[in-house]
Chains A and B, each alone.
Chain A
Amino acid sequence: MRMFATIAKLLVKRVLTAIPILLLVSALLFCILRILPVDPAAMSLPPNATVQEVEAMRTEMGLNLPLYQQYGIWLNKLFHGDIGRSIHFRQNVTSLIGSTLPATVELALIAMVVATVFGLAGGLFLFYVRGTRAEAVMDFISILLLSLPEFLWSLFLLLIFGVFFEVLPFTGRLSPGFERPVVTGFLLLDSLITGKLSTFFNALEHMILPCLALGIALSPSLMRVLRSSLLDAYQDDYIQQARLRGLSEKRILIRHGLKNAILPTLSLMGVQFGFLFGGTLLVEIIYSYPGMGNLMVDAIRNADLPIIQGAGLTYCIAVLVISIVVDSLYLILNPKLRVR
């Protein structure tokens, strides 16, 4: 019971602190992008527009009001879910993000699951072979993996499984001919909800390579942190005491060692997951995956300010949500953090 109370307290506290953070980030986003030498009015008109037409447009868009007033207007619209219209796509930013965000979330979540599975298994194995010759080999391999970035993995996997063996698709989210069901925006979920199993498996196939690339790239650091936290935990008396009570090594590892060693690993996972939102970018481009990453690249290339602002805010909210989730998990797993 106490645990839930503590988590509730944490949630309230974190949500309250999130408000000023979001305001600050929105102000920053707004100011920086307004300072850029890009004129949104000129951009939303055809190239042959006259100076008068641009001026009229500026007045219409409110661009000649003082900056703080512009921010106020922008913020007010933001509260009503209106981040403006994309200059390049001529579409509402909210709906653009709404259609690409679920794709990226799906990608990041599954990549994180892959990273966790590989990371935990690898970390346990690294720990298990400690002090043997296999450790040196595993150590070498884990450092090698650590030094390979996700876009290299993307290219390797694409070449091997996509081009050479031709066993997995490597562009987009669905093969041509499949219809996209739209309920929540999450493709895997939607295809299950609508009962279209073939669509589900097709989408899953498309996700294997990008998720593997991201997951494999993230896992070595998890492995190494888990291994070293396990080594730390095994220095503690309670491990020795558990042995002296005659518990089996397996039980000591899982119930006593891992339960303590998982904590630093968990905070690293939180950081990585936050990072994944920006980190899917290259992988999305390589696999032509229609997520936030691709949207961002297009927006930056075209200096599409509303999208950049929208994406920036989305990223900020995502990181805040993730850190609240990780901290709650931390409270569940680490009783020392709970208030007495």
Chain B
Amino acid sequence: MAIPSPKNPILSAQNLCVESVGAKESFPVLTDLNFSLEPGKILGLVGESGAGKSMIGRTISQYLPNGFAVTKGTLAFDGEDLVSMAAERRRSLLGREIAFIPQEPLSGLNPVLTVGQQIKEHLLRIGLAPGENWRERALKEFESVHLPHGAALLEKYPHQLSGGMCQRILIAMAFASRPRLLIADEPTTALDVTIQARIVKLIAEMQKRDGTAVIFITHDLRLASQISDEIMVLYAGRPAERGPAKQLFSAPAHPYTRCLQLANPTITGPRRGLFILPERMPGLRVLKELKGCRFASRCPNAIEACTRTEPPLADIGPNHIAACIRTEKTPDIVPPPLAPGREIASSKIHLNGEKLTKAYTTAWSPFAKRSVFKAVNSVDFALGEGEFVGIVGESGSGKSSLARLVVGLDTPTGGKITLAGRDVTANGNADRAYRREYIQMVFQDPQSALNPRRRIGSIVTQANEASGLHNSTRERMDRAAELLKEIGLPPDAAMRFPSQLSGGQKQRVNIARALCTLPRILVADEIVSGLDVSVQAQLLDLLLKLRDEHGFSMLFISHDLSVVRYLCDRVMVMYRGEVVESGRTETVFADPQHAYTRSLLAAVPPDDVNAEWSPVLAEAGYQVE
């Protein structure tokens, strides 16, 4: 398949270096980047956050963050250097020849302008055919991205639409000018799996139609291997490996690629342990001083020679290069054995829900009839001691509403919740106090869940304030030290502020806070989404380790089915407020009974790169949009 085509590359980088240029010293952000992208091809850029993936997109547009600049090399678009090009010339390319699809579709559109106003502005800028009406053209573009009711859509504001619809609109805008290069920066990270699959397929479809070259930036190696022709794995601003997608994925040559792959849980086949990449990517300051391979500090195969000189990107196959001196050892990296499964004593039920319902009624108004919306509709569930139960479903399926009912942030409008033998449905003051001892919640976004003005030590022992017990400074500092040790943070972290920690560390703190008073049940709402796979693997294993030590049970809400498959004993699939299927995780995922479960599973990119990914089953009635 890798027949070299005689076409000229649409984008080519030669020895491209981007540095953060400070007042005193400068740090390299992208180092010696070489690649070329031919028309009609898709290049997948993969790596952890901080690897420099998005910096490439920003370099192409030359909208670099303040203090960053290209210091060496060239980046040519169709033979013209984008870096040295006059700003006006570059601006005329943007939106016409070079288009971008953003990560956050909802915030990518201006909230105070209608969709019509925004697409009109874009269409008028890129120019319409003589006699063409912008409205007709917009509807045509909407049709090509399979957006129904285009005319009504033009009158809508972004907040009235779903993320998937906004992303389709942005894709329609991006392809309206038939661009020659498209940069899609994590275009599906903020979306549901089912919508992710459709959006990715859509980008591929449009790309084929127009012969557009695409740079597809993602942290998901599995997804990249499905859509891309070629993949470049970046590590700390430098390519670690580059090669044809399928080959790179099925036989990764660089240990980093292999580790990334093994850090991600599988969706099919036997469950395996997760490879835990230790620590973090080196920071800019460390990188500058570093002599040897930048991955050496985390590499399971590193030897003394690796720390002496930076390994060059060497050929290891047709069109396949890797920056490692021991590529032959890469296949030796294997995941650790899976922790032995737990037998759940189902006799000991901690938490029980019967016909649990949460209905919302619209506010009274003299102008409209009140309507009822059931966020959670007659849900039955049970959580045994030490059991991890996953709740999966798309956004709007009622997962988070159910979690709020369980922890007592909301009071159910129907049904019954029993917690360790006590009926807590009424959610009165006594129920709440009782609940606090039993259940704690871990929130999704550690950035906003941790008070930025408090030190970590005081954050993790916050629960002591409410109970009034062990609330002396001494006791709290002691407890904080214990908790930090359990979650694997250094003791001096207690004196730091949240802003001084990385995303993964913050999420650990978030977990530690919930564990402070040793609750019997944790409710975790999407606590690993938005984190790198390496950090995700660390956190998943941390949760399993903590369960072994403390024996708590957990309701684990996630849209990521492979994570649920790895972590949870049982799973509940929710659709529009109802549980449509539940059972042992392995059984449900291996032999799903409900059509909705099947479409959720089909939406996940398969583990086998050669397997057919046909995500859009379009089972009647289970289309969220």
The residues of B that contact A333 with a CB separation of less than 8 Å are 112
Closest to A241 in B: B108
> Judging by beta carbons under 8 Å apart, are A240 and B110 in contact?
no
> Judging by beta carbons under 8 Å apart, are B107 and A238 in contact?
yes
> Judging by beta carbons under 8 Å apart, are A248 and B100 in contact?
no
Interface check B94, CB cutoff 8 A: yes
> How far does the alpha carbon of A247 sit from the alpha carbon of B63 in the complex, in Å?
13
The residues of A that contact B61 with a CB separation of less than 8 Å are 243-244
How large, as a class, is the contact surface on chain A? 20 to 34
A240-B63 contact in complex given A9-B367, A336-B157, A336-B159, C-beta closer than 8 Å: yes
> How far does the alpha carbon of A259 sit from the alpha carbon of B118 in the complex, in Å?
13
Closest to B170 in A: A241
Q: Mark A316-337 against chain B: 1 for CB-CB distance below 8 A, else 0.
A: 0000000000000000011110
A245-B63 contact in complex given A237-B107, A238-B111, A259-B110, C-beta closer than 8 Å: no
Interface check A90, CB cutoff 8 A: no
Name the distance in Å between A330's Cβ and chain B's nearest Cβ: 11
> Judging by beta carbons under 8 Å apart, are A247 and B159 in contact?
no
Name the contact of B104 in the complex, choosing from A237, A244, A259 (C-beta under 8 A).
A237
Interface check A179, CB cutoff 8 A: no
Name the contact of A246 in the complex, choosing from B66, B94, B365, B367 (C-beta under 8 A).
B94
> How far does the alpha carbon of A238 sit from the alpha carbon of B110 in the complex, in Å?
5
The residues of B that contact A241 with a CB separation of less than 8 Å are 100, 102, 108-109, 170
> How far does the alpha carbon of A303 sit from the alpha carbon of B170 in the complex, in Å?
67
Closest to A9 in B: B367
The residues of A that contact B173 with a CB separation of less than 8 Å are 245
The residues of A that contact B122 with a CB separation of less than 8 Å are 245
> Judging by beta carbons under 8 Å apart, are A260 and B112 in contact?
yes
Highest count of chain A CB atoms <10 Å: which of B63, B92, B111: B111
Name the distance in Å between B183's Cβ and chain A's nearest Cβ: 8
> How far does the alpha carbon of A100 sit from the alpha carbon of B160 in the complex, in Å?
48
> How far does the alpha carbon of A131 sit from the alpha carbon of B65 in the complex, in Å?
13
> Judging by beta carbons under 8 Å apart, are A335 and B111 in contact?
yes
Interface check A88, CB cutoff 8 A: no
Interface check B95, CB cutoff 8 A: yes
The residues of B that contact A336 with a CB separation of less than 8 Å are 111-112, 157, 159
Q: Which of B87-113 contact A (CB under 8 A)?
A: 91-96, 99-100, 102-104, 107-113
> Judging by beta carbons under 8 Å apart, are B125 and A334 in contact?
no
A247-B95 contact in complex given A238-B111, A333-B112, A336-B111, C-beta closer than 8 Å: yes
> How far does the alpha carbon of A131 sit from the alpha carbon of B104 in the complex, in Å?
27
> Judging by beta carbons under 8 Å apart, are A260 and B100 in contact?
no
A244-B95 contact in complex given A237-B104, A237-B107, A336-B157, C-beta closer than 8 Å: yes
> Judging by beta carbons under 8 Å apart, are B110 and A248 in contact?
no
Closest to A335 in B: B157
Closest to A252 in B: B110
Interface check A236, CB cutoff 8 A: yes
Interface check B465, CB cutoff 8 A: no
> Judging by beta carbons under 8 Å apart, are A238 and B109 in contact?
yes
> Judging by beta carbons under 8 Å apart, are A245 and B95 in contact?
yes
A243-B112 contact in complex given A9-B365, A335-B159, C-beta closer than 8 Å: no
Classify the secondary structure of A's interface with B. Answer: helix
Name the contact of A260 in the complex, choosing from B63, B104, B108, B111 (C-beta under 8 A).
B111
The residues of A that contact B100 with a CB separation of less than 8 Å are 241, 244-245
Q: Mark B466-496 against chain A: 1 for CB-CB distance below 8 A, else 0.
A: 0000000000000000000000000000000
> How far does the alpha carbon of A5 sit from the alpha carbon of B367 in the complex, in Å?
10
> Judging by beta carbons under 8 Å apart, are B160 and A255 in contact?
no
A248-B91 contact in complex given A241-B102, A336-B157, C-beta closer than 8 Å: yes
B contact residues, total (Cβ < 8 Å) = 33
Closest to A12 in B: B366
> How far does the alpha carbon of A259 sit from the alpha carbon of B96 in the complex, in Å?
25
Q: Which of A57-93 contact B (CB under 8 A)?
A: none
The residues of A that contact B114 with a CB separation of less than 8 Å are 335
Name the distance in Å between B493's Cβ and chain A's nearest Cβ: 29
The residues of A that contact B111 with a CB separation of less than 8 Å are 238, 260, 335-336
> How far does the alpha carbon of A237 sit from the alpha carbon of B99 in the complex, in Å?
15
The residues of B that contact A136 with a CB separation of less than 8 Å are none
Interface check B143, CB cutoff 8 A: no
Q: Mark B157-174 against chain A: 1 for CB-CB distance below 8 A, else 0.
A: 101100000000010010
Q: Which of B34-51 contact A (CB under 8 A)?
A: none
> How far does the alpha carbon of A238 sit from the alpha carbon of B169 in the complex, in Å?
13
Closest to A243 in B: B63
Closest to B176 in A: A245
Name the distance in Å between B233's Cβ and chain A's nearest Cβ: 25
> How far does the alpha carbon of A333 sit from the alpha carbon of B110 in the complex, in Å?
13
> Judging by beta carbons under 8 Å apart, are B63 and A246 in contact?
no
The residues of A that contact B80 with a CB separation of less than 8 Å are none
> Judging by beta carbons under 8 Å apart, are A237 and B108 in contact?
yes
> How far does the alpha carbon of A291 sit from the alpha carbon of B249 in the complex, in Å?
81
Q: Which of A225-272 contact B (CB under 8 A)?
A: 236-238, 240-248, 255-256, 259-260
Name the distance in Å between B339's Cβ and chain A's nearest Cβ: 40
A244-B112 contact in complex given A336-B159, A340-B160, C-beta closer than 8 Å: no
The residues of B that contact A246 with a CB separation of less than 8 Å are 91-96, 125
Q: Which of B48-100 contact A (CB under 8 A)?
A: 61, 63, 66, 91-96, 99-100
The residues of B that contact A245 with a CB separation of less than 8 Å are 94-95, 99-100, 122, 125, 173
Q: Mark A2-42 against chain B: 1 for CB-CB distance below 8 A, else 0.
A: 00010001001000000000000000000000000000000
Name the contact of B112 in the complex, choosing from A237, A242, A335 (C-beta under 8 A).
A335
Name the distance in Å between B553's Cβ and chain A's nearest Cβ: 39
> How far does the alpha carbon of A54 sit from the alpha carbon of B100 in the complex, in Å?
85
The residues of A that contact B125 with a CB separation of less than 8 Å are 245-247
Closest to B107 in A: A237
> Judging by beta carbons under 8 Å apart, are B63 and A244 in contact?
yes
Name the distance in Å between A174's Cβ and chain B's nearest Cβ: 44
> How far does the alpha carbon of A240 sit from the alpha carbon of B109 in the complex, in Å?
10
> Judging by beta carbons under 8 Å apart, are B108 and A238 in contact?
yes
The residues of B that contact A260 with a CB separation of less than 8 Å are 110-112
> How far does the alpha carbon of A255 sit from the alpha carbon of B118 in the complex, in Å?
10
Closest to A262 in B: B112
> How far does the alpha carbon of A340 sit from the alpha carbon of B161 in the complex, in Å?
11
Interface check B121, CB cutoff 8 A: yes
> Judging by beta carbons under 8 Å apart, are B112 and A334 in contact?
yes
> How far does the alpha carbon of A246 sit from the alpha carbon of B60 in the complex, in Å?
13
Name the distance in Å between B434's Cβ and chain A's nearest Cβ: 38
> How far does the alpha carbon of A236 sit from the alpha carbon of B106 in the complex, in Å?
11
The residues of B that contact A335 with a CB separation of less than 8 Å are 111-112, 114, 157, 159
Name the contact of B110 in the complex, choosing from A131, A242, A243, A334 (C-beta under 8 A).
A242
Closest to B91 in A: A246
Name the distance in Å between A256's Cβ and chain B's nearest Cβ: 5
Q: Mark A149-182 against chain B: 1 for CB-CB distance below 8 A, else 0.
A: 0000000000000000000000000000000000
> How far does the alpha carbon of A244 sit from the alpha carbon of B93 in the complex, in Å?
9
> Judging by beta carbons under 8 Å apart, are B121 and A259 in contact?
no
Q: Which of B343-373 contact A (CB under 8 A)?
A: 365-367
Name the distance in Å between A86's Cβ and chain B's nearest Cβ: 42
Name the distance in Å between A5's Cβ and chain B's nearest Cβ: 8
Closest to B105 in A: A237
> How far does the alpha carbon of A243 sit from the alpha carbon of B63 in the complex, in Å?
8
The residues of A that contact B170 with a CB separation of less than 8 Å are 241
The residues of B that contact A237 with a CB separation of less than 8 Å are 102-104, 107-108
Q: Mark B3-21 against chain A: 1 for CB-CB distance below 8 A, else 0.
A: 0000000000000000000
Pairs across A and B, CB under 8 Å, 15 listed: A5-B367, A236-B107, A237-B104, A241-B102, A241-B170, A243-B61, A244-B61, A244-B63, A244-B94, A245-B122, A245-B125, A246-B91, A247-B121, A259-B110, A335-B157
Known contacts A236-B107, A244-B95, A259-B113, then 16 further A-B pairs from the complex at CB < 8 Å, ordered by chain A residue: A5-B367, A237-B103, A241-B100, A241-B102, A243-B61, A243-B63, A245-B99, A245-B122, A246-B91, A246-B94, A246-B125, A247-B125, A335-B157, A336-B111, A336-B159, A340-B160
Give the top 7 A-B pairs by smallest Cβ distance, nearest first.
Answer: A246-B95, A246-B94, A245-B95, A237-B107, A244-B100, A335-B157, A238-B110
